[in-house]
Amino acid sequence: MIRALALAALVGCKARQGESPDPARKPPPDALRQYTEADLAIADYQTMDAAVAAGRGARDKLAIVTIARGEIRENDFTAYACGEHGPFSMFLTIPEHLRDRIRAVPKNARGACPRVLVRVRSIEPASSGGHRAADGTWVTEESESKIVMAETLAIFDVTPQPPTPPPTGVQFARIDDIVLSKFKGGEVAELALRAMAPSEYSTHVTMRTCEEDSEVVEFPDEKLDSALQHVTACHAIRFKLRPRGGPDLAGQRIEGELITIGGVAR
């Protein structure tokens, strides 16, 4: 028997790069219009479970899903459906005009899950494979779990949340403002951070934000005996962002070069 050939990496890579499975396919003529509450009533699917049940027939159709926000990458983010039970994962695009609303979507299903109107790009099995039958024919096997890639059209039930005003000489004061920006590297951020306990194999310092849903910031050039490693309580850490890395299922990787700890240069 030949075991599953993972398609999740291929499909997920396209999703993380913000691409359609068919880059040559032109968007529907109404793709750029502004959507309102009235469009929810005429959506083809009132739940993502229903869209997933339709499979490839849902391509280019509108669906409503209530979501919590997961990992954010350069062009898309992982979304988790609230109150739905189908085995699927979602990658939703990040339109420029919806960034402040995406920032306001709760993380990890905390708080009320907002309704989102999406246009389904593709629904594919998370993995597929098969085996050779006794008569020599190939039997294809697809996983029950699906990967949904969709275009985000409108987000309801949230108040747009603009970036937090940063201190003088700083471009970013929150981790969400970094990952939802188009940073290229060289920008300065200042976040409340504390060091994580190091692994015996670590060659850099890993820190966590002091926000409720903490995120990781890595300092590759800081040795384990550096001043950063001893920041076990929350301190204002100012650092210069390194260039954006490639797409990653775990979200946008943030790496920095230390400037100051609590306002003191190091």
**Domains, in order of start, for the chain:** 2-155 (2.40.50), 175-265 (2.40.50)
pLDDT band at 145 (very low <50, low <70, confident <90, very high): confident
Backbone phi, then psi, for 180, in 5-degree steps? Answer: -95, 5
What mean pLDDT do residues 35-49 have? Answer: 92
What mean pLDDT do residues 176-192 have? Answer: 95
- Concatenate the DSSP letters of all residues of 68-126 into one string: EEEEE-SSEEEEEESS--SSEEEEEE--GGGHHHHHHSPBTT-SPPPEEEEEEEEEEES
Sheet holding 235-241, edge to edge: 216-219, 205-209, 188-195, 235-241, 256-261, 264-265
pLDDT digits (tens, 9 = 90+) for 77-111: 999 999 888 888 999 999 999 999 999 999 876 66
Residue 152 to residue 94: CA distance in whole angstroms: 7
Residue 225 to residue 230: CA distance in whole angstroms: 8
pLDDT digits (tens, 9 = 90+) for 102-121: 999 998 766 689 999 999 99
Q: How far is CA 219 from the centre of its chain?
A: 22
The least confident of 31-40, 64-73, 165-174, 206-215 is: 31-40
Q: How far is CA 187 from the centre of its chain?
A: 21
Q: Is 31 exposed, middle or buried (0-12, 13-18, 19+ CB in 10 A)?
A: exposed
| pLDDT for residue 20 is more than 50 | no
Instruction: Kindly report the number of other CB atoms within 10 A of residue 173's CB atom.
Output: 17
249 or 160: which leads in pLDDT: 160
C-alpha dihedral sign at 165, 182, 249, 223: negative
